[in-house]
Amino acid sequence: EAQVTQNPRYLITVTGKKLTVTCSQNMNHEYMSWYRQDPGLGLRQIYYSMNVEVTDKGDVPEGYKVSRKEKRNFPLILESPSPNQTSLYFCASSPNRGQGTYEQYFGPGTRLTVT
């Protein structure tokens, strides 16, 4: 089944404790992206990756890191989480834009609470 998976689905952590949220897709998509969703703000793009070893900032990259060492994986790293990073996080993937397809496939979300 074609899908985007995220782990963990739920995470409660404390301020300053490094964490990683994994994202994996099995559709051989070039493009992957991370979003955070906050009430009243919709989804805001954190980082995106156009292919392996190619990443760039979205609109709200502060406090986050990403890497793309393999095509299927795009982990989101919070080196020193703070309470303002409490949010619902979504990973998405999409085929090569040059093929004229821009539909994003979303993962189920990761609810992160930082105390």
Footprint of another protein on 55-114 (CB under 8 A): 56, 58-59, 90, 92, 97, 100, 102-104, 106-109
Rule CB under 8 A: choose which of 21, 25, 34, 35 binds another protein.
Answer: 35
The yes or no reply on residue 42 touching another protein (CB under 8 A) is: yes
Query: How would you class 25 by CB atoms within 10 Å of its CB: exposed for 0-12, middle for 13-18, buried for 19 or more?
Result: buried
The yes or no reply on residue 34 touching another protein (CB under 8 A) is: no
Q: Which helix (H) or strand (E) holds 112?
A: strand 110-114
Omega prior to 108 cis, within 30 of 0: no
Rule CB under 8 A: choose which of 11, 19, 44, 86 binds another protein.
Answer: 44
Q: How far apart are the first and last CA of the chain?
A: 36
How many residues interact with another protein (rule CB under 8 A)?
A: 26
Binding site for another protein (CB under 8 A): 4, 31, 33, 35, 40-45, 48, 50, 56, 58-59, 90, 92, 97, 100, 102-104, 106-109
